[in-house]
Amino acid sequence: MPEHAASRDLHLTLRRQRLIQDAGGHNVWERYSAEKTIAADRVALILCDMWDAHWSRGASERVEAMAPRMNAAVHAARERGVWIIHAPSDTMAFYAGHPARERILAVPEVEPPPERTDVIDYPLPVDASDHGSDTNESQVSRPWTRQHPAIDIDADRDVIADDGARIYSYLQHRAVEQVLIMGVHTNMCILNRSFAIKQMVRWGVDIALVRDLTDAMYNPARLPYVDHWAGTGLVVAYIEKFWCPTISSEQLFG
């Protein structure tokens, strides 16, 4: 898609949760939504750590299942004018010389703003102290070498980076007003990478998680002893309560 092509508006339903008192005076979490319409070329979509391999078989299986839908969402967003940022951490050597990598390296660096001091880092609702694999691997390693090949990179338009400050500079370069993030893992990299939710919130950047295109590293043998999907749902709810809104991927398809 040419950079001068007309962009289309995105209509986002941003879902959050807040603690209220019900009619009986009991504390309850209430889900609520806000509607936002924004020009697509003021939106950037970050793909976090959708690697070609993982040390956890369970994690690999779920990434494999998610990748085709994610690729379709990326294509739809790109067609509408959204800027696509591929962020497969620890694999930048693989992309040396790639046009999408060179494109972001050429962007002038912008100093990020001072971090917010009012952000509270609440504890997560799931225990991943065993590294979170539900398929019982004992050895943690780094077998990934690149982004999952099922996800297309547009060499003429996309960018590739895994550094938060560089990605922040790119967001300023494109005058981005809304960041979306999808990928893995919800309770780890999606929250903690230098380009991910916590850092963007601390920099005052509007960010939202694509909640149906993510997965947690959570083992049901650990607290709170729920199945894997329920564990991921608890982390998504935690993000909605304490960090940022979420959207569904269908909103990218229009």
Q: Which helix (H) or strand (E) holds 231?
A: helix 228-242
pLDDT along the chain (254 residues), means of 10: 61 98 98 98 98 98 98 98 98 98 98 97 98 95 98 98 98 98 98 98 98 98 98 98 98 92
The string of DSSP codes covering 162-220 is --HHHHHHHHHHTT--EEEEEEE-TTTHHHHSTTSHHHHHHTT--EEEEEEEEE----T
Query: From CA 187, how far away is CA 43, in angstroms rounded?
Result: 24
Separation between Cα atoms, residue 41 and residue 152, nearest integer Å: 19
Give the per-residue pLDDT at 254.
82
First to last CA, the chain: 17
SS3 229: helix
Which residues partner with 10 through β-bridges?
Answer: 38
For residue 59 the two structure tokens come to: 């994690």
- pLDDT for res 7: 61
| DSSP symbol at 41 | G
Domains (range + CATH), the chain = 9-114+122-252 (3.40.50.850)
Residue 188 backbone dihedrals phi, psi, to 5 degrees = -125, -95
> What pLDDT score does 62 carry?
98
Tokens 């547009």 found at = 154
Specify which residues 21 forms β-bridges with: 27
- Beta-carbon contacts of 156 under 8 Å, excluding residues fewer than 6 positions away, are 1, 99
- 182 neighbors 46 (Cβ within 8 angstroms): yes
Phi, psi of 206, deg, nearest 5: -70, 120
